[in-house]
Amino acid sequence: MTTTEASHGESRAFAADVAKLLHLMVHSVYSDRDVFLRELISNAADACERLRYEAIANPGLVGDDAKPAITLTVDAEANRLTLEDNGIGMSKPELIEALGTIAHSGTKAFMERLDAAQGDSANLIGQFGVGFYSAFMVAEKVDVISRSAGTAEAWQWSSDGKGTFTVTPVELAEAPARGTRVVLHLSEDGKAYTERFKLQRIIKDQSGHVPVPISIKDKPDAEPTEVTDGAALWTKPKSEITAEDYTDFYRSAAGQFDTPALTIHVHAEGRQEYSLLAFVPSAKPFDLSDPERKGRIKLYVKRVFITDDAEIVPRYLRFVRGLVDSADLPLNVSREMIQESPILAAIRKSVTGRILGELEKLAARDDNAYAEVWANFGAVLKEGLCEDFERREALLGLARFKTAASGEGWRSLKDYVGALRENQTAIYYIAGEDAARLAASPHLEGFRARGIEVLLLSDSVDSFWVTLGPDFEGKPFKSVTQGAADLAAIPLLDAATPPVSDTAPAVTDFIAFVKTTLGEEVADVRASDRLTDSAVCLVASEAGLDRQLEKILASAGRLGAAAKPILEVNPRHDLIKRLADLGESDRAFREDVAHLLLDEARILDGDRPGDPHSYAARLGRVIGRGLGGSAG
Q: What percent of the chain has pLDDT over 90?
A: 53
What average pLDDT does the segment 6-17 reach?
Answer: 61
CATH of domain 234-371: 3.30.230.80
How far apart CA 331 and CA 323 sit, in angstroms, is: 16
CB of 36 closer than 8 Å to CB of 138: yes
506, burial (CB in 10 Å: exposed 0-12, middle 13-18, buried 19+):
middle
Beta pairing partners, 180 = 85, 146
User: In this model, does residue 431 exceed pLDDT 80?
Assistant: yes
- Give pLDDT tens digits for 154-206: 999 999 888 788 999 999 999 999 999 999 999 998 999 999 999 998 888 77
CB of 538 closer than 8 Å to CB of 567: yes
* 43 annotated to a ligand binding site: yes
How far apart CA 598 and CA 608 sit, in angstroms, is: 11
CB of 314 closer than 8 Å to CB of 276: no
495, burial (CB in 10 Å: exposed 0-12, middle 13-18, buried 19+):
exposed
* 130 annotated to a ligand binding site: yes
Axis-axis angle for helices 505-518, 574-581 (nearest 10): 90
How far apart CA 329 and CA 324 sit, in angstroms, is: 11
What average pLDDT does the segment 372-399 reach?
Answer: 95
* 335 annotated to a ligand binding site: yes
Give me the phi and psi of 140, to 5 degrees please.
-90, -15
pLDDT at 19: 61
- Give pLDDT tens digits for 532-582: 999 999 998 887 777 788 777 877 666 666 788 999 999 999 999 999 988
Give me the phi and psi of 513, to 5 degrees please.
-65, -45
* 494 annotated to a ligand binding site: no
* 132 annotated to a ligand binding site: yes
What average pLDDT does the segment 590-618 reach?
Answer: 92
Task: Give, in degrees to the nearest 5, the angle at Cα 112 between 107 and 113.
Answer: 100
DSSP label of 16? S
Phi-psi region of 265 (alpha: psi -120 to 50; beta: other; left: phi over 0): beta
What HEC string does 333-379 produce? CCHHHHHHCHHHHHHHHHHHHHHHHHHHHHHHHCHHHHHHHHHHHHH
Domain borders along the chain are 3-230, 234-371, 500-631
Instruction: Give the three-state DSSP class for 154.
Output: strand
* 570 annotated to a ligand binding site: no
Greater pLDDT, 102 or 279: 279
Residue 376 half-sphere exposure toward CB, CA atoms < 13 A: 21
* 105 annotated to a ligand binding site: yes
Phi-psi region of 79 (alpha: psi -120 to 50; beta: other; left: phi over 0): left
How far apart CA 146 and CA 84 sit, in angstroms, is: 9
CATH of domain 3-230: 3.30.565.10
Instruction: Give the three-state DSSP class for 447.
Output: helix
Task: Give, in degrees to the nearest 5, the angle at Cα 572 between 569 and 574.
Answer: 95
Q: In what helix (H) or strand (E) does residue 586 lie, and over which residues does it extend?
A: none
What is the CATH topology of the domain spanning 500-631? Four Helix Bundle (Hemerythrin (Met), subunit A) (1.20.120)
CB of 400 closer than 8 Å to CB of 360: no
- Give pLDDT tens digits for 312-321: 999 999 999 9
Q: What percent of the chain has pLDDT over 70?
A: 86
- Give pLDDT tens digits for 491-505: 888 765 666 667 889
- Give pLDDT tens digits for 401-427: 999 887 778 999 999 999 999 999 999
Least confident of 122-126, 391-395, 574-578, 610-614: 122-126
What average pLDDT does the segment 222-237 reach?
Answer: 90
pLDDT at 20: 65
Strand residues in 152-303 grouped as ranges (E):
154-159, 164-170, 179-186, 214-217, 225-228, 262-268, 274-280, 296-301
Task: Give, in degrees to the nearest 5, the angle at Cα 341 between 340 and 346.
Answer: 120
* 129 annotated to a ligand binding site: yes
**282-304 burial, b for 16+ CB within 10 Å, e for fewer?**
eeebbbeeeeeeebbbbbbbebb
pLDDT at 33: 80
515, burial (CB in 10 Å: exposed 0-12, middle 13-18, buried 19+):
middle
Among 476, 384, 385, 480, which residue's Cα sits nearest to residue 441? 480
User: In this model, does residue 105 exceed pLDDT 70?
Assistant: no
- Per-residue CA distances from 10 to 140, 158, 172, 179, 180 (Å): 20, 11, 19, 22, 20
How far apart CA 10 and CA 412 sit, in angstroms, is: 62
Cα 510 to chain centroid distance, Å, stands at 51
CB of 235 closer than 8 Å to CB of 73: no
Greater pLDDT, 130 or 283: 283
Split at pLDDT 50, 70, 90, the class of 100 is confident
